[in-house]
Amino acid sequence: MAADLLELLDREHISSAHLLGHSLGGKTAMHFSLLHSERIDGLIVADIAPVDYPNRHEHILEVLSHIHPEELASRQAIERELSRHFNDPSFRKFLLKGVKKHGDSYRWTFNLASIIRGYSGLQEAVLGWQPHEGPVLFLRGGESDYVQEEHLVLIRTLFPYAEIETIERAGHWIHADAPKEFGDRVMAFLDRA
């Protein structure tokens, strides 16, 4: 995925950029920044650390693989299907952001089959030979266990100038749980970076 990101930046003639990634996107952004530090103006990592994680999403992926948006008539029908498996309305809203209308039907905007195939590799730690010494913001949810105190040593090793902030009333889906505070902190970091 870091190679895909490099290809995108090159194709669009973007010499450097600010990157923001949540969870898997955060791991991708961290990996990219360690490989291509010169292409990063600022890095924002939302509720993920550069560590190995146990399997946390197998149930979610299993459920999504059995929901076929193209067979459902509306976003409300898709949400009803999601509600059979997920109680949290903000999590369902987050998943619905991955549904788009295409012609007369709906579809997932992400490549679910590829995520399922590569899931074990996606859980692995982020490694780098050289630390990324540019500006970095780690935002973690106060009600999430994804970024723990023992992870801070590795974060500081790979990203020595990282700022680490907590949004207290947010879980792992930090941008969905606290969108205003998340946005305010992102914009403040971008102003500084």
| Residue 31 is among the residues annotated as catalytic for this protein | no
Cβ-contact 163, 170 below 8 angstroms:
no
Q: Tell me the DSSP string of 71-135.
A: GSSSHHHHHHHHHTT---HHHHHHHHTTEEEETTEEEESS-HHHHHHTHHHHTSPP--SS---S-
Rounded distance, CA 121 to CA 36, Å? 20
Catalytic residue among 22, 31, 132, 172: 172
Instruction: Give the integer Cα–Cα distance in Å for 60 and 86.
Output: 9
DSSP 155: H
Q: Among 176, 179, 152, 177, which residue's Cα sits nearest to residue 163?
A: 152
Between strands 105-108 and 99-102, the pairing is antiparallel
- The vertex-44 CA angle with 111 and 4, nearest 5°, equals 35
Asked if 16 is an active-site residue, the reply is: no
The structure tokens 């930046």 sit at 9
Active-site pick, 23, 31, 33, 175: 23
What are the catalytic residues? 23, 172
